[in-house]
Structure 1
Amino acid sequence: MKKKFVFTIALVLGAMVLAGCGKKETASDTWADLEARGTVIVGLDDTFVPMGFKDENGQMTGFDVELAVEALGRMGLEPVFQPIDWNLKETELSSKNIDLIWNGYTITEERREKVNFTTPYLDNQQSIVVLAGSDIMDKAALEGRAVATQNSSSALAAIEAEGAMEAFKDGNVVLFDTYNDAFMDLEAGRVDAVVADEILARYYIATRGEAQYRVLEEDFGDEEYGVGVRKGDETLLEKLNEALDAMKADGSAAAISEKWFGENIVK
């Protein structure tokens, strides 16, 4: 009787382990679910010009938006663009509220611990923008000044990595939820400089009036953009890399780049 009981418990525990393993394997790769659904939810900051933002009609547009539409379309999927709190982007991805982070998303080692990245498709750097009449000419002149950037951005990470913020006013960075807010405070004179992705900064300056701003020659380092994919979604990652590589090869990525930047800057 005792032997029978032990044998039964062993069978039950074995079944539970197998069931658990099966569940984990299924949950780790969502490609079958995405293919059946036919859509992919793309998380983005909808104020991040010119990568992904709302135009004057409230429609989502931008370089990354068009790139995503083309790439996912080749995979038989339709993107659904979901504005998110950029501070919570990795949490939104791991919680499966979104399927991709695609919006000028800088590849960093810290982020690699939370998400998988596609092959880099664009170069970037963290530029320092001041008003045209500012006496700030280099990074050293930021000492004691109010320096702003977006919260949870790669610009903030670059500043922290360099150990620069201790020299700023109050030994810290002025953080904003969006770069729009940061640049508005720069224009109003409430901050002295904004550190931002060069691509965003150049586009913002071009649309707001180049005479108002100046970009310092020094910056906070070079970076690369990639698409963030949930850990375990290996099929989605593989197919997305294949689609992006094909777009680079046939010139369609270059065409989208030329539309938004006037030249092909795709890697």
Structure 2
Amino acid sequence: MNKMKRILICLSALLIIAFAATACGVSTGSGNADDTQKVLKVGVDDTYPPMEFKDESNATVGFDIDVATELAKKMGMKAEFISNDWAGIFLALESGKFDVIVSSVSRNEERMEKYSMTTPYIANAQVIVVPAEDTSIKEPKDLAGKNVGVQIGTTADESCAEYLKTTKFTLKQYDQVIQPFSDMKAGRLDAIVVDEVVARYYVKKDPKSYKVSSARLTNEPIGVCFAKNSTELRDQAQKALDELFADGTMKKLSEKWFGEDLTGNVKDIK
């Protein structure tokens, strides 16, 4: 009987300890404080410099990476980045592979209908990149008869599909945005249709090879993208984003990556 009592007392003590640990959020992992911090899983196409890409040490870096990191902090969470090719990134979001996409998602009508998005956090447009010495291509009609590169599945790809209805050119689609720039440098492309934020990065890096034509094709500010039913998490992110604008963080991040503030004129767009 005494032995049975001792067993019951030990079991009761173990249950009390387990309950207390659960209630206090104590991790059974390594014991670090960060083990109990909530994680925000962020989907990125990390082949899209300067927005998200791998640096020389294979770390994921870029403007969007910094934005997502600061956003998660404001939400009391820690950002965990999950790489995904762009062609399947929205399907991956819908399947629950990650909580959010912070990867240069342009806010257009179709996406606003299918997903929950925050207000924009940076200005953007579609532009035409040409070789530095080119003087013949200034606007879409000048693409006639040219070899034009674009990343597949992007809004630039959609724009080119529209231009093809009235202007005939050869369209080459690429899985990664770095590929058409390599092909242009090798003389295989006459033009690239791409996000302005990406175009600026490449021109700044290599002005002897690339330049941006004078035409801005579309106005496509970029927002944070959630699944359609993730409205509560979207609202938390919106509040955090508003705070990042208010405390000057967005301005600092833009100046870090682009040398100027591309965020200040978009925060009031709904």
TM-score bin, normalised by smaller chain: 0.7 to 0.9
TM-score by length of 1: 0.81
Tell me, yes or no, if structure 1 residue 93 matches structure 2 residue 90.
Answer: no
Query: Secondary structure of 1:236's partner?
Result: helix
8 A Cα contact 1:125 1:198, kept in partner: yes
- Distance, in Å, in 1 between the alignment partners of 2:208 and 2:163 is 31
After TM superposition, the structure 1 = structure 2 runs for residues 208-247 of structure 1, keeping only pairs within 5 Å, are 209-247=206-244
Aligned residues: 228
Aligned: 1:145 with 2:146 = yes
Alignment partner, residue 155 of structure 1: 156
Is 2:37–2:78's contact at 8 Å kept on the other side of the alignment? Answer: no
Structure 2 equivalent of residue 32 of structure 1:
none
Residues 132-182 of structure 1: CA deviation (Å, up to 9, x unaligned):
22342322221011111100011112233x434652335xx2100011001
Partner SS state of residue 153, structure 2: coil
Give the alignment of 1:5-84 within 5 angstroms: 38-84=38-84
| 2:180 counterpart letter in structure 1 | A
Offset from partner CA, 1:22-64 (integer Å, 9 cap, x none): xxxxxxxxxxxxxx87112111111111111111110111111
Q: What root-mean-square deviation, in Å, do the aligned CA atoms of Structure 1 and Structure 2 show?
A: 1.6
Runs of 4+ residues over 3 Å off in structure 1: 162-166
Deviations 1:106-156 (A, max 9, x none): 011122232111111111111101112234232222101111110001111
CA contact (8 A) 1:130 1:136 kept: no
How has the CA–CA distance of structure 1 residues 212 and 165 changed in structure 2, closer, same or farther, with 3 Å as cutoff?
farther
State the shift of 1:78 in Å.
Answer: 1.0
Q: Distance in 2 between matches of 1:244 and 1:179?
A: 27
The percent identity for this pair of structures is 36
Distance in 2, Cα, partners of 1:60 & 1:185: 24
Structure number, greater radius of gyration: 2
2:242 match: secondary structure: helix
Kindly provide the CA deviation profile for residues 94-116 of structure 1, in whole angstroms up to 9, marking residues without a partner as x.
10011111111101112223211
* Of 186, 189, 208, the match for 2:187: 189
Contact 1:159 1:220 in 2 (8 A): no
- Separation in 2 of the partners of 1:133 and 1:247? 40
Q: 1:116: which partner in 2?
A: 116
- 1:37 and 1:259 map into 2 onto residues whose CA distance is 28
- Structure 2, unmatched stretches of 5+, are 1-35
Q: TM-score, normalised by structure 2?
A: 0.80
Q: Distance in 1 between matches of 2:211 and 2:260?
A: 22
* Cα 1:204/1:92, change in 2 over 3 Å: same
